[in-house]
Chains A and B, each alone.
Chain A
């Protein structure tokens, strides 16, 4: 296509470019490796796009400023890594509860704490799901290439705007710093979803009254549609209301709006046969190694395929359960001690054996290691 522009760049830069292309006009962040290139690109380009970049005093205030800007009607985002993402949990809960669209790029690195600064890791899966307190839904997307960094950042903004929820772009150090060709989208071909706005007379507007899809219409500060965003339990007016009925209704609605959108949100990618005897399930940088391993295994005449998890949360349970009908075993390579593996075990409920290949030494999982695991599993199936 004539408008297509190919860039040779790293995942972090592709994320920043995607955010600008999809209309983000506000970035608030705090520097942390391996995410800092996102901030650097935004500091340079945000003025060109008519937006504002601000470097805050910590990640607590970064996410707060981002949420404030979004409530004022501007698409906003931030980027961070493990220690910074930990600090963001408090106001992530606010953004979920007050239904504020925003995107947080979490470039996973080795942990816990400062860990092997700043070697790669994939151990934030469960923190991304449950890091902030209380019952809450979340959406997280996991890129495995620079192109996916670009495409999934666009998708992250669109889902956050549509469902009024923070979306986590769950990248990792390898994907973030890998340089590859990425095809950028022209303004004409880029799909942009914006939050649905009220059209009723302002006096009739209730800022947390849901539509049929469970999602309230969203006005911005400064309009005559009054907005009362709150960290406290609130009714349709947005004002505090601690009645058991209100509390229960709100928690259920927050979950149901995401459950209803499940088919649109959940995305996986198939590589190789999906009815193979051994199916590898992988995500992020590890999916790259898994792909190569699958190719090599196929060359050896083995029946092996790959299911790449793209949407980590909500978890692609149906898609993984479907593998149980045809596969004899699943292999899950990941750079943690089994965070996705345990979720997959939960989904499969003992229907077939699931084998974990872990690596937590701060080194990438290599294709050869995945291949060896596949061969071991094949041996197990024979015996």
Chain B
């Protein structure tokens, strides 16, 4: 391909329009992701997206790349097999918070621990949108969902802290409001060897927002804008202030060797 790639080269145009609700942040993430791939100039046939089940798990249906639309929570496990079988491929696991950290939590921490060269993009909308707005493992404590009408009694996971503790090489958080930053972080994550995570805090005005005082997309984007702070700013805050904000930006950047590099090194002498 001599022509420069653009974002729409990664879209499955026949599949449009998107099925996502008005005000959903997923379309914004899809745009940032496809722009990142185009800027990195990776041909669509060298990209495999793996997905599970959920609103963001539908993303593969709108992409022209190779795809493995698997089962709920297992996108990273499929991705592991794909990457180890053909290390030349750019393998992206596109998941929601339910997929990545609730039903798929075990796969998430273990894939990060192994440091398999996969980029995980997690659209975190703090609830299960596809099934009608029930609480997930990232729903903040006391928030209302269709299965926590009095507020959820469980605290939510911090996905980035989870990935960091488990051993990921690259961890970043962005939001559907911070589109330029999101694209840059996704590009960096894809380029980074080893396990990379970009969590994107994304509005679900249909359910999470509606039940928690933010019934429109504008309400939710304003909320994302207001609570987001840079890692530098975060360091200057009091413990009390830290509780009320969300750190957005690059959180971990390290260069531990990835699984396949270590495996090849250890088995190089086997004849």
A residues near B, CB below 8 A?
25-26, 28, 47-48, 52, 54, 56-58, 60-62, 64-74, 76, 90-91, 93-94, 220-224, 226-232, 238-240
List residues of B (77-94) whose CB comes within 8 Å of A's CBs. 77-82, 84-86, 88-89
**Besides A68-B80, A72-B85, A240-B61, 16 other CB < 8 A contacts?**
A56-B77, A61-B74, A64-B77, A65-B80, A65-B81, A65-B84, A68-B77, A69-B84, A72-B82, A73-B86, A94-B70, A222-B48, A222-B66, A231-B53, A231-B69, A239-B12
Q: Nearest 5 pairs between A and B by C-beta?
A: A68-B81, A65-B81, A64-B77, A47-B267, A61-B77
Q: Which range holds the interface residue count of chain B?
A: 35 or more
Q: Report B-chain residues with C-beta under 8 Å of the C-beta of A91.
A: 70-71, 74
Main secondary structure of the interface of B (DSSP, over half): helix
B107 at the interface (CB under 8 A from A): yes
**Distance in Å: Cβ of B134 to nearest Cβ of chain A:** 20
**Distance in Å: Cβ of B87 to nearest Cβ of chain A:** 10
B152 at the interface (CB under 8 A from A): no
Q: Report B-chain residues with C-beta under 8 Å of the C-beta of A64.
A: 70-71, 74, 77-78, 80-81
Q: Report B-chain residues with C-beta under 8 Å of the C-beta of A220.
A: 86
Identify B89's interface contact among A62, A221, A231, CB under 8 A. A221
Closest partner residue, chain A, to B66 (CB atom): A221
> Would you give 8 A-B contacts (Cβ < 8 Å), ordered by A?
A52-B85, A57-B107, A62-B77, A68-B79, A70-B85, A91-B70, A226-B45, A226-B64
A-B contact count (CB 8 A): 137
Q: Report A-chain residues with C-beta under 8 Å of the C-beta of B46.
A: 222
Q: Report A-chain residues with C-beta under 8 Å of the C-beta of B14.
A: 239
Closest partner residue, chain B, to A44 (CB atom): B270
Judging by beta carbons under 8 Å apart, are B81 and A60 in contact? no
Closest partner residue, chain A, to B76 (CB atom): A61
Judging by beta carbons under 8 Å apart, are B270 and A66 in contact? no
Judging by beta carbons under 8 Å apart, are B45 and A222 in contact? yes
Tell me the complex Cα distance, A25–B84, Å. 10
Identify A65's interface contact among B48, B53, B77, CB under 8 A. B77
Q: Report B-chain residues with C-beta under 8 Å of the C-beta of A62.
A: 77
Known contacts being A57-B107, A65-B77, A231-B71, is A48 close to B66, with CB within 8 Å? no
Tell me the complex Cα distance, A56–B107, Å. 9
Identify B69's interface contact among A47, A48, A224, A228, CB under 8 A. A228
